[in-house]
Amino acid sequence: MADRVLGLPDKNGPFKYDVYLGCGVLDLTSAVNGLREMLERRDILCFPKYDPAHSQQGTKSAIIEGVARSRKCLLYVSPSFIEDKWYKMEVAEVVNKAKRFSRDMVVVLKHPQLASVPSELSEYGVLNVHDDDTLKNPEFLNGLADALKKGMC
């Protein structure tokens, strides 16, 4: 915060957030909310698609802003995410950003109910979530945090 007051660039350069967190509305259980909390405890500032703090703006605006203002995009790809009415638009925003910057800026967490991730996301770093406990596993979270901070998963 002091850097911003002094006019110095912040740690994320032009990006305000470390990670855009995309998920389906039904994924907002303790698993995804817990994942966000765990990442933020590791100094990874998240911009979640569905967040009460952004309730004044619509979901479409939140997706556009979140993707544009985050260094990385973390997508929790589940049946709920794929069935979400914003799925196609959200994935298009993420893919377009990856084309402009780097495919390493996209990390996909594959829900255990899916046999595979959708083809438009298959070229990005995919981490398998075996069950809800995976998102609480310190070893998994440390690896994910490293991938989000440093690059590829």
The predicted model gives 7-27 an average pLDDT of 77
82 Cβ contact list (under 8 Å, min separation 6):
24, 114, 118
Looking at residue 9, its pLDDT comes to 44
pLDDT band at 18 (very low <50, low <70, confident <90, very high): very high
Percent of the chain with pLDDT over 70: 86
Q: How much is the pTM?
A: 0.86
- pLDDT, tens only, 81-105: 999 999 999 999 999 999 998 888 9
Q: Which residue matches tokens 């303790």?
A: 30
Cite the beta strand spans of 23-97 per DSSP E.
Answer: 46-48, 70-77
Q: Is the pLDDT of residue 121 over 80?
A: yes
Q: 45 with 67: CB under 8 angstroms? A: no
Give the DSSP H or E segment for 146: helix 138-150
pLDDT digits (tens, 9 = 90+) for 53-71: 666 678 899 999 999 999 9
**Structural domains in the chain plus CATH codes:** 19-150 (3.40.50.10140)
pLDDT for 124 beyond 50: yes
